[in-house]
Structures are given as C-alpha cells and as structure tokens.
Amino acid sequence: MRQCLIAVLLVVAAPSPQPATEPIVRIGLTQNAATVTIRSESAFSVEHRSTRAATFTTVLALDPAATGPLKKADLQYRVSVDVDGETILVLPAGAHIRIEPSGAPLEIETRAYRGAIEVSGNTRRTLTVVNELPLEEYLRGVVPNELSPTTFGQIEALKAQAVAARTYIERNLGQFRDEGYDICASDACQVYFGVRTEDPLSTQAAAETRGIVATYDGKPINALYSSTCGGRTEDAENIFREKIPYLVSTSCEYKHPAPLPFSTSRSIADWKTGVLAVARVTTFADAARFMGLPDRGEPASTTDLAALAGFVRQTFYPSVVTASDLSFLNDQGILPVTGPAAASDVLFRLVDRKGAFEWQQGVLTSSDGTKMRLLVNGQPKEFTLAPDALIYQRIGDERLPMTAGSWIGGELIDFRAESGTIGMLVYRINFANPAADRYSRLAIWQIHKTAAELDAAFKPLAIGDFTDMRIVQRGPSERAVETEVVGSRSRRTVPALRLRTLLGLRDSLFSYDIERNARGTVLGMTFYGRGWGHGVGMCQVGAYGMALDGATYEEILKKYYKGIELKKLY
Ligand SMILES: [Zn+2]
C-alpha cells in the first residue's frame, strides 16, 4: 500500500517532457501526380457528395473574376474533381480536398491506405497526395517493406526494425513541412506501401513495441540501417563524413555457429591438375571431346608457339577469323606471348573457361557432410557431395587442397556438379566467420566489369582510360573509405559512396582482381565483395541472425547503436 502511494506521488511529481499521446503523421504519397483516382469499397464523401470513386486532375481554367477580352493572366491552374464521371468541382490550385475513410481503406491505384487522404494542387501544377493517420498504423505499412516478414520471419528482429522505423519518423517529423506533409513514402525516407503490405508478424512487432524509440542524450537517434553489413558495420564518419557517437563500427556477431564438418577421400595438390582430372582431360583430343568439338588429334609441337596457336585456334575456335592466331590467343589469355607453353597449362586454360567446365557458384546454407544446401542465384538447391570430391580452400589466388575441415555456412563456393553430385568445389573461407548476417544471399557477392564498362563508369572522373586502382584507406569494417583510381591522363581519390555509385556496387566492402592481357592492358576487373548497403547502423539480416540465435530486440538495437537507451514515448 505504501509502495503504491510512493509510486503515485512520483508519477504526479515527474514533469512529462513529451505529450503521452500517439502522434498523427502526414505521409507524402506523391507530389508530382498529373491525375489521381481514389476509390473505396465503402462510400466516402468528397465535398458533401457521396461516392466510391473520385478522380483529381489539374486543369487550366478561366478565372471566374475575369472580365473583358481574354488575357493570359485570366487562365489559372486549378484542381478539378470528377465524381462518377461528372465534374463536380473546380477548386483553386492551393485548395486541400480531404477525404475521411468510412469503414474501408481508401485506395489509390494498386495500394490502399488507413486514415484520411488529402489532395491539393501545388506550385509545380501537379497534385500532392498526403495520407494522414496515427503513427502506429503508419508503422504497420512500413515495417514489412523495410524487413520482409516472409524471408526474415523472426519477431525480435521485426521488433528491432519497428523501433528503428518509429525512431526515424519521430526524429524526422515535419521534414517536408513546406510540401504539406511530414515525411515521404519512398526509400528516400522509409518505404511505406499501406495496408495491403501489412503482415500479422510485423504488425505484432509494431504493437509489442508501441511508443518505444531509441534515444541518445535523451533525443531520438538517427536510426540508420542497411540490409547486410557483411560481417562488420562501419563508422558513420567513414561513409557520411559526419561523426555520430552511436553509429560506430561493430562486429556483426552474436553467437558462434556450430561447425559443419566435411571430408573427402581424394586430394590433388595442384587445383589446375584437379580441374583436368575431374574433366578427364589429359590430351588436346580429350579437351576437344570435353567441349563437344571434333577431335583433331594432338598439335605437332608445343614449343613452336605460332604452330601451336594455329592448331589451338583451328581446334577450339573454328569459327574465329583472325590475322594472327597467336595474337588472338594472347588476347584470350590461352597462350603466352613468349616462352614455352606447358601443354597442361594450355589444356587447363581451355577447359577452365567457364562455359566448358560449367562452374556454378552458390552460398552454403547447410551441410551434413554429404547433403549440401546452397543458394544458387538466390534459389535454395540441394546437392550431394561426392565421397571423392576434390575440395580446395581459396585464399587470395592460392587454392589449398583439403581432405577434411569444417564450414559454418555463408561460404561462397565455386563448384562443378553433374546430376546433382558435386565432384569439385573451391570455397572461400567465410572470414566474416560467425557473422549474424551470413544467412543473407547478399552477404557475399562477386561482380565482373569489362574494360569498356570500367571506362564508362569512371567517365565522370575525367581520368582518361582506366589503368589501375588502389585502396588508400579502409575503415574498421574493411570498407574502402578512400580509393585512388588511375587513368591514362590523371588519377583521382574517390570516397566510398561515390565509388560505389560510379561502379554500381552493392557495398564498399570488397577486394578485387584486375585482369590484364599478356601485354598488360586492362581487360576487366572482378570485385569480390560482402554486404549490401552503406553498412552504417543496424544490419537488418544480422538482426535476423541474432534473433534466430535467441537475442531480444533490445539486445539487437544496443548491439548496432552504441550507448543508446530505449524510451517509451506513449
Ligand atoms: Zn551484419
């Protein structure tokens, strides 16, 4: 009883810094529509007329006050409203027409919205459409679009996302006040697609965190998040040039995953010999058969490069017409410019061509040592690992033969499978090892750019033809913070976001190989990357991984936003 009394006194005595009510938010659905049709399953009212559909258009109309001969100034942009095919109103461009819901959501094209819709003409002579509704109802249409409850269906991760989204809107309320709303509905703000995208799980996540925001120094934080950090998040200042105390690099790690052991009965030290063994190629005739080409026997010589070039070109590139077979094969990287050509090297290069050996690539999701599940082009596929499969671990350009070891999931694997059985694989050690975001198909990626694509990408830098690249500074997450790009005319140092945009990369977290022909000319570049997004703040797939391993939403938020406090506003 006494305790109750003290509690009551404290509540009365404490001044309330925030009104303890849920805010109403105004979301800008569009600000550039030429025409907008609003429908609903239940009748609604437009300027006292009941209807189930109303179409708004901007029109050039005559000023009703105009007198005398028609002048240009007498024509004004106005908003016309059609109800049931009949124009009922022509309003001044600045007028706001407000439609209250009447039971069923209001629909615009394929989307439907809770709350009221306001349409008004703007100074650009187009229509601005605003959806006004309570904040928590808005969040129901945001959370599932920012983190998919179908793909990442873990309630604690969705709750963390709900708090991040609520914090974002609390902090940015009124950002677009001049346009007549609080915040936009696209990924420039946070994605809001309305009631049809709601999902019971993300709705539950919003309800269970009602009113809760993340704060630092008592104020809502800038709750940045990105899809997949690739193992470690980055300091805000390295990407956005602004130091923010709670947006600092953290390892995307929660619990160590269980190892997935593997073993094999066969090992061939040199992986190139391994490729030829799996392809059953020891002679040029074998190689031709392997590629489905006519068997033309063996070359007369492998020491006379010109003669060897003639044989290889005619056998393996029968339809290519070239002035110099040797020059052509130099360009293809099949034969060296000078010096002896070992037959096995030439055979390997012929067979290893992606089309011939049929390498596939996937991300390991699970393995019991025999059955392996891999995400191939984003689709889960099951394979059997042959008991005598050749297994190599790739470190830089080295490929180490392995007879036993273990994976943890998330490894990027190049493999060759016949009828669902893997006979050879090369895996990159998952050095983002126990990262909570290793489940993302985006955690590891690889992209190739041709020399022409590189020149086009770097054109805005005006450096001439691309010749080289060097990473000057990496952040704590290994993101390329400053990169020097070298061209035939000049060189430029480029910050992370700019480089990412120029090259169209998913993330700034990458290493690369520059491919050159025997003469040193750049043929292309391969980027080996991790992550998707800017890498600052909460890692969304990491949040999912943490939730899978038992973390609460508060643990998730406090992991990615350093030193924050959760606060219930209403
Ligand atoms: Zn992560």
229: left (phi over 0), alpha (psi -120 to 50) or beta: alpha
CA distances from 547 to 151, 152, 161, 460 (A): 13, 10, 12, 43
- The distance between the two most distant Cα atoms of the chain, rounded to a whole number of Å, is 104
435 CA distance to ligand 1 middle (Å): 6
* Averaged pLDDT, 494-509: 94
Helical spans, DSSP H, in 130-199: 135-140, 143-146, 155-172
Predicted structure pTM score: 0.68
- 3-class secondary structure, 254: coil
β-pair type (421-428, 379-395): parallel
How far is the C-alpha of 120 from the C-alpha of 131, rounded, in Å? 12
Confidence of residue 253 (pLDDT cuts 50, 70, 90): confident
β-pair type (225-226, 538-539): parallel
161 CA distance to ligand 1 middle (Å): 14
**Look-up: residue for tokens 């009949």?**
86
98 CA distance to ligand 1 middle (Å): 43
For residue 512, the cross-strand partners are 527
231 CA distance to ligand 1 middle (Å): 5
Closest CA to 157 of 223, 202, 194: 202
* Averaged pLDDT, 275-304: 92
How far is the C-alpha of 568 from the C-alpha of 391, rounded, in Å? 53
One-letter amino acid of 259: P
Six-digit token string for 6 = 């003290």
Contact predicate 512/485, CB 8 Å = no
Estimate to the nearest angstrom the gap between the alpha carbon of 326 and the chain centroid: 43
Give the start-end residues of each E strand in 396-505. 398-402, 404-407, 412-418, 421-428, 444-450, 466-474, 480-487, 491-495
Closest CA to 207 of 147, 314, 271, 135: 135
Confidence of residue 310 (pLDDT cuts 50, 70, 90): very high
* Averaged pLDDT, 162-172: 96
How high does pLDDT run on average in the chain?
A: 89
Among the ranges 69-73, 355-359, 425-429, 493-497, which has the highest mean pLDDT value?
Answer: 493-497
How far is the C-alpha of 507 from the C-alpha of 532, rounded, in Å? 5
- 3-class secondary structure, 171: helix
62 CA distance to ligand 1 middle (Å): 59
515 CA distance to ligand 1 middle (Å): 30
Q: What is the pLDDT of residues 320-339, one digit of tens each?
A: 999 999 999 998 889 988 87
* Averaged pLDDT, 191-209: 96
Whether residue 450 has pLDDT greater than 80: yes
Cα dihedral sign, 319-323-325-330: negative
485 CA distance to ligand 1 middle (Å): 28
251 CA distance to ligand 1 middle (Å): 8
Six-digit token string for 123 = 């100074």
How far is the C-alpha of 7 from the C-alpha of 38, rounded, in Å? 50
Contact predicate 283/299, CB 8 Å = no
* Averaged pLDDT, 284-307: 91
Contact predicate 569/218, CB 8 Å = no
Q: Please tell me the predicted confidence (pLDDT) of residue 64.
A: 74
Q: Please tell me the predicted confidence (pLDDT) of residue 103.
A: 87
Contact predicate 160/538, CB 8 Å = yes
Q: Please tell me the predicted confidence (pLDDT) of residue 463.
A: 95
186 CA distance to ligand 1 middle (Å): 23
369 CA distance to ligand 1 middle (Å): 27
Whether residue 146 has pLDDT greater than 90: yes
Confidence of residue 40 (pLDDT cuts 50, 70, 90): very high
422 CA distance to ligand 1 middle (Å): 30
233 CA distance to ligand 1 middle (Å): 7
191 CA distance to ligand 1 middle (Å): 21
Whether residue 67 has pLDDT greater than 60: yes
187 CA distance to ligand 1 middle (Å): 20
537 CA distance to ligand 1 middle (Å): 10
Q: Please tell me the predicted confidence (pLDDT) of residue 12.
A: 43
How far is the C-alpha of 525 from the C-alpha of 534, rounded, in Å? 22
Whether residue 10 has pLDDT greater than 50: no
531 CA distance to ligand 1 middle (Å): 7
> Which range among 20-24, 91-95, 99-103, 210-214 shows the weakest confidence by mean pLDDT?
91-95
Q: What is the pLDDT of residues 80-130, one digit of tens each?
A: 899 877 777 777 777 889 999 888 999 998 999 999 999 998 888 899 999
430 CA distance to ligand 1 middle (Å): 13
Give domain limits for the chain. Answer: 24-63+71-192, 444-530
For residue 372, the cross-strand partners are 367, 383
Q: Please tell me the predicted confidence (pLDDT) of residue 19.
A: 55
229 CA distance to ligand 1 middle (Å): 4
Q: What is the pLDDT of residues 533-544, one digit of tens each?
A: 999 999 998 998
Whether residue 286 has pLDDT greater than 50: yes
How far is the C-alpha of 207 from the C-alpha of 148, rounded, in Å? 17
**Residue 237: count of CB within 10 angstroms of its CB:** 15
Q: In what order do the strands lie in the sheet with 49-62?
A: 86-92, 75-83, 49-62, 35-46, 106-108, 111-113
Six-digit token string for 437 = 């975001």
Q: Name which residue leads in pLDDT, 408 or 197.
A: 197
> Which range among 72-86, 134-148, 362-376, 527-541 shows the weakest confidence by mean pLDDT?
72-86
194 CA distance to ligand 1 middle (Å): 28
Helical spans, DSSP H, in 230-318: 236-240, 271-279, 284-290, 305-316
538 CA distance to ligand 1 middle (Å): 8
* Averaged pLDDT, 366-393: 91
> Which range among 139-143, 296-300, 421-425 shows the weakest confidence by mean pLDDT?
296-300
Q: What is the pLDDT of residues 350-373, one digit of tens each?
A: 998 767 888 999 888 889 999 999
Confidence of residue 434 (pLDDT cuts 50, 70, 90): low
342 CA distance to ligand 1 middle (Å): 45
* Averaged pLDDT, 222-247: 93
How far is the C-alpha of 180 from the C-alpha of 221, rounded, in Å? 24
Q: Please tell me the predicted confidence (pLDDT) of residue 564.
A: 97
Q: Name which residue leads in pLDDT, 375 or 402.
A: 402
445 CA distance to ligand 1 middle (Å): 14
437 CA distance to ligand 1 middle (Å): 5
* Averaged pLDDT, 262-269: 94
Contact predicate 214/555, CB 8 Å = no
Six-digit token string for 373 = 């599940």
Q: Please tell me the predicted confidence (pLDDT) of residue 3.
A: 39
Instruction: Give the whole-number percent of the chain exceeding pLDDT 70.
Output: 94
Instruction: Give the whole-number percent of the chain exceeding pLDDT 90.
Output: 62
308 CA distance to ligand 1 middle (Å): 51
16 CA distance to ligand 1 middle (Å): 37
Estimate to the nearest angstrom the gap between the alpha carbon of 160 and the chain centroid: 19
Residues 6 or more apart in contact with residue 560 via CB below 8 angstroms: 225, 233, 250, 537, 538, 539, 542, 543
How far is the C-alpha of 241 from the C-alpha of 205, rounded, in Å? 33
Residues 6 or more apart in contact with residue 360 via CB below 8 angstroms: 376, 414, 415, 416, 417
Q: Please tell me the predicted confidence (pLDDT) of residue 439.
A: 65
Among the ranges 10-19, 222-231, 449-458, which has the highest mean pLDDT value?
Answer: 449-458
Contact predicate 115/96, CB 8 Å = no
Length of the chain: 570
> Which range among 160-169, 388-397, 476-485 shows the weakest confidence by mean pLDDT?
388-397
Q: Kindly compute the dihedral angle of the four CA atoms of residues 111, 116, 120, 123, in this order, to the nearest 10 degrees.
A: -80
